[in-house]
Amino acid sequence: MLYVDTSALLKRYVEEVDSAACERLLLADPEWVTGRHTLIEVRRNLARLLDPEPLGQALAAFGEDWLRMAVVELDAFTCERAAEIAEATGARTLDALHLAAATRLGGTLALLTYDVRQAVAARKLGLRVAGL
């Protein structure tokens, strides 16, 4: 199972450094999971980064990916865990929400991220990090 954060998902729809490597990691694991807030983060960033025509294509592709992902809800438990993670690691709010959602799943989960600060915080929590 692969927890996919926003920095990784964006590489599917916007050509960036490491997009090809990210795509290989995504395709190697058919089971993706993410937090509910990823919906907002990805759509906001796509609207910020892309012109109208590529934006429509990217949103359609993201919509298909979203339907295949398991989504961790940002319930009271997850938000409390995110607050604890932010306090303990200094993680930014949205990163702490990703980390809280990922830690809810436990097991052999890997966090796919291209956010250096989030990767550092994830490793402090004992999560396996892919991408960086």
| pLDDT in single tens digits along all 132 residues of the chain | 999 999 999 999 999 989 999 999 999 999 999 999 999 999 999 999 999 999 999 999 999 999 999 999 999 999 999 999 999 999 999 999 999 999 998 878 999 999 999 999 999 999 999 998
Per-position b or e across 33-67, b if 16+ CB within 10 A of its CB: bbbebbbebbbebbeeebeeeebeebbeebeebbe
Tokens of 118: 């989030």
Check: CB of residue 95 under 8 Å from CB of residue 3.
no
Check: CB of residue 129 under 8 Å from CB of residue 122.
yes
* Residue 107 confidence (pLDDT): 78
For tokens 């940002």, what's the residue? 74
**What are the sequence ranges of the domains in the chain?**
2-130
Check: CB of residue 72 under 8 Å from CB of residue 35.
yes
CATH class in words for 2-130: alpha beta
